[in-house]
Amino acid sequence: MEQARAVSACEEVSVDKLEKTRFAEVDREGFFITKTQ
């Protein structure tokens, strides 16, 4: 039981990190586009 809970908590954290990374990528691309236009 303890292990299963630890794994799901770990997965939630990695998903959160992926979300933040994806938004950072979009931000960087949007910034680049506005700078070049």
pLDDT in tens, 16-36: 776 777 777 777 777 776 676
Q: What is the pTM of this model?
A: 0.27
Q: How far apart are CA 26 and CA 5, in angstroms?
A: 32
State how far Cα 19 lies from the chain centre. Answer: 3
5 pLDDT more than 70: no
State how far Cα 9 lies from the chain centre. Answer: 15
Q: Can you give the pLDDT at residue 27?
A: 73
Q: How far apart are CA 23 and CA 30, in angstroms?
A: 10
What is the distance in angstroms between the CA of the first residue and the CA of the last residue of the chain? Answer: 55
Q: Can you give the pLDDT at residue 11?
A: 66
Q: How far apart are CA 31 and CA 13, in angstroms?
A: 27
> Is the pLDDT higher at 1 or at 30?
30
Q: Can you give the pLDDT at residue 10?
A: 61
